[in-house]
Copies of this chain bind each other. A is one copy, B any other.
Amino acid sequence: VQLPQTSLRTAQRLQLGGKTRRLQINPIIKAYEVTLEQPTLNDARADLERVSAALEASQGLGKLSTETAVVRSLSDLARESQWRLTVFVRTGEREREIVGFAGTGRRPLGVAFDLGTTKIAGYLLDLETGEELASAGIVNPQISFGEDVISRIVYAARDAKAAQQLADAVRTGIDESIGALVQKAGVTREQIADACVVGNTAMTHLLLQLPVAQLAIAPFIAATSSAVDVKARDLGLRIAPGAHVHIVPSIGGFVGADHVAMVMGSDLDRLSYVALGVDIGTNTEIGLHRPGQPFVTSVSCASGPAFEGAHMRSGMRAASGAIEAVRITREGIQVKTVEDAPAVGVCGSGIIDAVAEMYRADTIDRRGHIREGAPWVRRGDQGNEIVLVPRQSSGTGEDIVITQHDVSELQLAKSAIATGLEILVESTQIALTDVHEIIVAGAFGSYIDIRNAVYIGLLPNIARAKYSQIGNAAGIGAKMALLSYKERARARKLALRSSYLELTTYPGFNRRFALSTMLPQKGHELDIHDSEPRRAANMVGSKEAK
């Protein structure tokens, strides 16, 4: 497939959660077409030396290094292609390096990956135009070794073989994803001359097969937090033989490369006002930016897997049939499910909605206690519970419920985030009222109802208009780092200058965490009328329960 030869190195539009922004494309890879002199008995120069001579003569490129793995592919290709080649050259900080050879007319491509604990998002881009040629999402194959970060660390720390298994799992997943991307775009693997990966610290460590045991016990130390450039072939990725995989640096502790990428993808570090970036997950990272300071101060909150539906009686991930929104009125409980399929469980955003609506309807009190005798409340085997969808209407034949235990789990999760955010803001001598924007990033963050998240105290009580939900900013950050070495330098500076605030040693943390499990006092919500629950219009009517 011949791609359009648009050599525009100017600013390129990138779609970013509704906003469109421009990115200067400065790829680290360039493609050169060369014609080599054919060897004779009296010109017995080696094949590689012919390439060097041609690049020197036509492009003025001197002193190129080339790894053996790359040289390996040259001799046959040169002869098959009648001594005309495309040479992919990487301009590193200290040297130029030939990373691959291909036939003539092959454009230089790259892949970016956002390596999540649960999902891996992959993107195939043209390195010169920035055009996205394909994207693909897969489940992280490591999931069969443990759903959460800690169980995978425990598994990997068993022995070298276990660590190898986990590394192989994610590497194979990424390589298969690359296979899907090249097939979609109709291109070849050897055209992919560069790659970029972001992920949380545990995920990047497991990918690189770095030791993780020390990451799981206090004081939670990474093996390295620097940017890593590793050869793609060392990770089993079958792209150009000399291609690198660039891993974006991390800030420290659990504040990883994905957080740095989120900051870049949301431009948080460049805003002209005080702003927060929040990426909610099993660990929730929050970055605080102040104007004039091109970096952030970050905390990591151990919010746990509640938002992924784990440890909840009817909890599940946001798959088909998951209740993602809930409304409780005097008439009954309305739910909205993913793909409008029959309800089979409740995912994170549904749990937030359910608890908010239960609190609004006085079904639970500030401590989260489900009140005996409130509408739709019944006595379960482990205390009171509310039935969202009775078995007659569910897709499973079971009641879909929120139990007292579920509410408590959510309170712990929301308190972890709220306490972290509060301490972060307070530690930098800033008042919440000075915060001009709270950017809620990540796939999960895009689905939650901000009004309800504020109502239960998960997010702070500031004007609804100050919130923005921007989607997978970490994925955007990964693409930016792929397309521009200047963005890599930005990430490096960002990681170096940003600071990490350890919450657990902050004075009074435990007390404040305990207090914050309480739901907020009612009647103080700002902008309470600025938006109706967004998805109410789509809600399907539900039956009365019990």
Contacts and interface: CB of A to CB of B under 8 A. Distances in A.
B46 A505 contact: no
A497 interface: no
Interface string A27-41: 000000000000111
Interface string A461-482: 0000000000000000000000
A100 interface: no
Interface in A211-264: 211, 213-214, 218-226, 228, 230, 234, 252-253
A43 B230 CA distance: 27
Contact of A224 (B66, B95, B220, B221): B66
A47 B74 CA distance: 39
A38 to B, nearest CB: 9
Contact of A45 (B42, B74, B252): B252
Contacts of A234: 68-69
Chain A interface mostly? loop
Given A46-B223, A46-B252, A48-B226, A214 B505 contact: no
State the copy count for this chain. Answer: 2
Contacts of A230: 67-68
Interface in A111-152: none
A47 B94 contact: no
A210 interface: yes
B44 A221 contact: yes
Contacts of A46: 221-226, 252
B211 A75 contact: yes
B69 A224 contact: no
A44 B211 contact: no
A39 B502 CA distance: 13
A238 to B, nearest CB: 14
Nearest to A255: B44
B223 A44 contact: no
A530 interface: no
Interface in A59-76: 66-69, 71-72, 74-76
Contacts of A485: none
Contacts of A211: 72, 74-76
Interface in A481-510: 500, 502, 504-505
A209 interface: yes
Contacts of A226: 46, 48-49
A208 interface: yes
6 contacts: A39-B221, A44-B252, A46-B224, A47-B222, A48-B225, A71-B208
A324 to B, nearest CB: 36
